[in-house]
Amino acid sequence: MDFGFTDADDMFRAEARAWLAEHVGGAQERRTWERTLGKAGWIGLGWGRGGYGNRSVGLTQQVVWAEEYARSGAPARSGHIGENLLGPTLIAHGTDEQKRRFLAPIALGEELWCQGYSEPGAGSDLAGVRTKAERASDGTYRVTGQKIWTSLAHEADWCFVLARTDPESSRHRGLSFLLVPMDQPGRIEVRPIRQMTGTSDFNEVFFDGAHARVEHVVGGEGAGWRVAMSLLGFERGVSTLAQQIGFARELGRVVEAAVRSGAVGDPVVRERLVRQWAELRVMRWNALRTLGRAGDAGAPSVAKLLWGGWHQRLGELAVLVRGAAAGVGPVEWSPSAPYELDEAQHLFLFSRADTIYGGSDQVQRTIIAERVLGLPREPKGVV
């Protein structure tokens, strides 16, 4: 399938590739890198011309930038939640004042965001939100509750929080989408969650009467479910194609390891490697087929099911092709380095979470069954 890049897209690719070649490299603090991107106008390419300091390009050039960024080996983004999730949501549902206040700092790489959705006991069930936001006498909200699996909360300046503003409501009714500043000592506590990889990319966030301003409710009070669902539609788009560039790089390293170890001589291993390559091509074609289409309720769920399982299988292959050597750490054990992993071991352990975060496989299948196939709604469990 040919996506149909034009001469203008090719010129844009050359510009992006040259800029990345000049600026990528060396140790660079993540906030500094965000500001470097923002200063050059590379953040918010798909927002349109709103005067926020971003360039405005079409869909094909957004794909070009995402692909070139992934190929360049540039640092993992700290600002992607603000750029790719909150930004489009504010453009669709925010007031003019909210757009002026928040979009420019995101585009300039000056303010980082995290997402306050998942909660203990609710997991991927957003309608099970128990975090409360009560209107105080001064007109602000007091947010109380706990969020979990909150990526980058330890770095974020702000959090968009789905909270229950109607205490008498249940499920998806009575929810609101609030923008909450994270710098509130004594009212907000962030606790890193140590993962199997030894790193802490996710966090628990505890809100104890955290303040949120009434003018920072997106879409109006009680419209949180509609806004939250809209945001989830932005979650899987152009970035999926960039993700696949990274996957292709990982697959290439697994193939090289299989050749070095001799595992490629095993016909079963060889068949699995070929299958991984073929499935990655299918994922790309599917992403291109659905890119830019609105109203396809099942497309995001299908994409998540495809790449989550694929990446897990790649992690399993990464250790399989190395044999017994995969069970040995890259350095000798020492008190200062008790838990060191090499690249393949990290891929294997981290990918175990791929079928859980961002909506578990079970939740994605339920969405497809109910919203696409029209099957009866899943019965609620009996306690």
Which sequence positions are flagged as catalytic? 235
First to last CA, the chain: 49
> Which tokens is 73 given?
């080996």
Check if the beta carbon of residue 360 is closer than 8 Å to that of residue 124: yes
C-alpha span between 58 and 140 (Å, rounded): 39
C-alpha span between 15 and 35 (Å, rounded): 19
Q: Classify 347 as helix, strand or coil.
A: helix
Check if the beta carbon of residue 300 is closer than 8 Å to that of residue 291: no
C-alpha span between 119 and 123 (Å, rounded): 6
Check if the beta carbon of residue 264 is closer than 8 Å to that of residue 258: yes
Nearest to 106 by CA among 117, 120, 119, 90: 90
Torsion of CA 347, 352, 355, 358, to 10 degrees: -70
Check if the beta carbon of residue 337 is closer than 8 Å to that of residue 102: no
Number of H-type helices and E-type strands within the chain? 12, 8
C-alpha span between 162 and 141 (Å, rounded): 13
Residue 82 DSSP label: I
Check if the beta carbon of residue 118 is closer than 8 Å to that of residue 149: yes
Q: Which residues pair with 133 in a beta bridge?
A: 143
Which residue is associated with the tokens 């506590």?
A: 189
Residue 171 DSSP label: T
Residue 68, Cβ neighbours under 10 Å: how many? Answer: 22
C-alpha span between 47 and 254 (Å, rounded): 37
> Which tokens is 69 given?
């960024």
